[in-house]
């Protein structure tokens, strides 16, 4: 339930009205919107990007090409993240190969490398 409140604070979901007894009364489309938000998050879209997608969804001037452009931009972003992660993995594998795990911590090649200017 805290996630729902968070999305409300972020402007992704409207605050529902309350019953006389104080219970929150969610409109029928709230579940659909929550699924949309959850799925978009799973695909790597930020909250800002999700807000933009939701806005595009209700705009009469939006075309499917506009949405495709956003999805293609997200693909480029994901590819850049993958390259960055692969680089980090390569560096960490290299560092763990040079560490025998038996040296005193003060002589740990991994920690020394992190202290250094180059990696």
- Cα gap 118→116, rounded to integer Å: 6
Q: What is the pLDDT of residues 17-41, one digit of tens each?
A: 899 998 989 888 999 999 999 999 9
The CATH number assigned to the domain holding 50 equals: 1.10.1660.10
Domain hosting 70: range is 2-115
Q: Over 90: is that where the pLDDT of 43 sits?
A: yes
The predicted structure's pLDDT at residue 105: 87
pLDDT exceeds cutoff 80 at 102: yes
CB within 8 Å of 24: residues ≥ 6 apart: 16, 17, 18
**Is the pLDDT reported for residue 2 higher than 90?**
no
Number of domains in the chain: 1
- If you count DSSP H runs as helices and E runs as strands, how many of each does the chain have, helices first? 5, 0
pLDDT tens, residue by residue, 47-101:
999 999 999 998 999 999 999 999 999 999 999 999 999 999 999 999 999 888 8
């Amino acid at each position: 339930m805290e996630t729902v409140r968070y999305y409300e604070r972020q402007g992704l979901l409207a605050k529902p009205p309350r019953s006389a007894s104080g219970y929150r009364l969610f409109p029928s489309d709230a579940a659909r919107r929550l699924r949309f938000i959850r799925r978009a998050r799973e695909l790597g879209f930020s909250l800002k990007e999700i807000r933009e997608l939701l806005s595009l969804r209700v705009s009469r001037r939006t075309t499917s090409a506009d949405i495709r452009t956003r999805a293609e931009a997200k693909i480029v972003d994901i590819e850049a993240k993958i390259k960055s992660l692969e680089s980090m993995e390569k560096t960490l594998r290299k560092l763990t190969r040079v560490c025998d795990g038996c040296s005193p911590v003060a002589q740990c090649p991994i920690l020394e490398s992190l202290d250094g200017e180059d990696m």
